[in-house]
Chain A
Amino acid sequence: MAGGMDLGGGGKGGKKPLDASINLVPFIDLMAVTIVFLIMSAVWTQLGRLQVSQSGQSSAEEQPPQDQKQPVNLLITEKELKLSVGGTPFDTIPVTRDEKGRVDLSKLTGYLAQIKKEQPDQSAITLQTEDAVLYDDLVRIIDNCIGSQFPSVSVSPAST
C-alpha cells in the first residue's frame, strides 16, 4: 500500500488507507465566485490628480521675486492661446483640434521649451482662463505645462 498507514484494523484484519482526498469542488466554486465578484467590482481606470493653485488668493505667496524671473502668463480663450513672459507676448496660438476634438498644443510646447531654455529656474505659470473654456481643454493645457517643467500652475479667471 503506497503511502498508506496501517491502523491496525481494530481487530477486524482490514487495513484502512489514510490517503483521503479532500473534496476541492466547493473550494473551486468559492474561488470562481470570488474572481467574478472581484473582476466585476474592479475599477480598471487609473486615476491621478493635477495640483493647481488659485492665483490671487493668498497675497503672501505673491511677493515680488527676489531674482529676476519674469512671470509667465497664458491667456486661454475658446479660440486662441496668448502666451506672454513679463509682458512680452509671443505669437498668438489659434486653437486647432484633432479628429478627436483635442486641442493641438505642439506650438505651446515649443514656446514653453523656449521660455524654459531662457529661464531655467522659472517653474511657475499663470493660466488666465475665460469662462467658456472647457474643463477638458484646461486640464490638457495644465498637463502640458507640467510636462514642460512648469509644475507650479496657477489658474485664474481672465479679466474681461
Chain B
Amino acid sequence: MAIQAPGKRFGKRLEHSKVFGHGLHGKKNMNSDLNVTPLVDMFVILVLFLVANFSNGEVLMMTKDINLPEAANTDELVLAPVVMVSKTEVLISGALVGRVDDLTREEYLNIPALEEKLRDMKKQFEDLHNAAQDTGAFKGDVNIQADKSAQFRIIKRVMFSCASAGYGNISFATMASSVKKEGGESASRD
C-alpha cells in the first residue's frame, strides 16, 4: 500500500464530491512565483525620495553635545565657517580653541585662538580666490552653532572674535520649528 500524506481521507464514495473530494484529486504545483515588480518599484521610489531629500549639503555637523535652540523665522543656512559652542568647549572647524570654564573666568573681550584661526581661514580664502582669479568677494559669513544652555558671556566673545577677524555676517544656527511664533508672519529679509 502506498504511503499517504496524513489528513482527512474520505471514502471512495465522496472522492469525487465537490465539497469533500476537494484537493484529493489533481495535484497543484506549490512552487508559485511571487510577483516582486511592485516591491521593486516601491523601493526605487523610496530610494529616490531619500536621496533627493537628504542630500542637500551638510553645513553643520550635528553632535550630541550641542542642542540647538528652536526658531520659526529663519533663513536657509549658508556654507560658511562654523564656530561650535558646546557646554564645555568652543571649536572651529572641529579644532578646539577654548574651554568654556576658562573663557568664563577670563575678562578679555575676544578669544585669541579663535580670532587667529579665523584670520588664517580668511587669508586662505583670499589667497585661493586670488590664485583662481575669482572675483567672488569675501562676504564674511560665519555660523555660530551654540548649545541652548550657553551663556551670552561666551557668545559675545565668539561674536567679537568673529567681527575682529573680518567675519561680520554672523548667523545663529537654529532648528527650524514649524510653528510660527506670536509675531505672526515671517519678516522679509534682504
Contacts and interface: CB of A to CB of B under 8 A. Distances in A.
Chains A and B bind each other: yes
Contact of A139 (B33, B69, B188): B69
A138 B47 contact: no
B172 A49 contact: yes
Nearest to B189: A151
B155 A135 contact: yes
A20 interface: no
A28 B187 contact: no
A57 interface: yes
A78 B78 CA distance: 31
Contacts of A57: 163, 168
Interface string A16-58: 0000010011011001101100110111011111111110011
A105 interface: yes
Interface stretch (A4-12, A65-73, A83-91, A124-132): A124-132
A134 B148 contact: yes
B54 A48 contact: no
Interface in A132-160: 132-136, 138-140, 142-151, 155, 157
Interface in B147-187: 147-153, 155-156, 159-160, 163, 168-176, 180-187
Interface string B30-49: 00010011011001101100
Sorting the interface of chain A by its residue count into under 10, 10 to 19, 20 to 34 or 35 or more gives 35 or more
A151 to B, nearest CB: 4
Interface residues of B, number: 62
Contacts of A149: 183, 187
A54 B40 CA distance: 54
Most buried by A among B53, B58, B159, B185: B159
B151 A132 contact: yes
A31 B44 contact: yes
Nearest to A34: B47
B146 interface: yes
A109 B150 CA distance: 24
A59 interface: no
Contacts of A21: 33
Nearest to B74: A48
A153 B143 CA distance: 16
A106 interface: yes
A112 B46 CA distance: 46
Nearest to A149: B187
Interface string B137-149: 0000001001111
Interface of B: 33, 36-37, 39-40, 43-44, 46-47, 50-51, 53-54, 58-60, 62, 68-78, 85, 143, 146-153, 155-156, 159-160, 163, 168-176, 180-189
Question: Would you list the 6 A-B pairs with minimal beta carbon distance, nearest first?
Answer: A147-B183, A48-B74, A136-B148, A31-B43, A131-B153, A48-B176
18 contacts: A24-B37, A28-B39, A31-B46, A35-B43, A38-B50, A42-B50, A42-B53, A48-B173, A49-B75, A53-B168, A57-B163, A112-B183, A131-B151, A136-B148, A143-B174, A144-B183, A146-B183, A146-B189
Interface of A: 21, 24-25, 27-28, 31-32, 34-35, 38-39, 41-43, 45-54, 57-58, 105-106, 109, 112, 123, 129-136, 138-140, 142-151, 155, 157
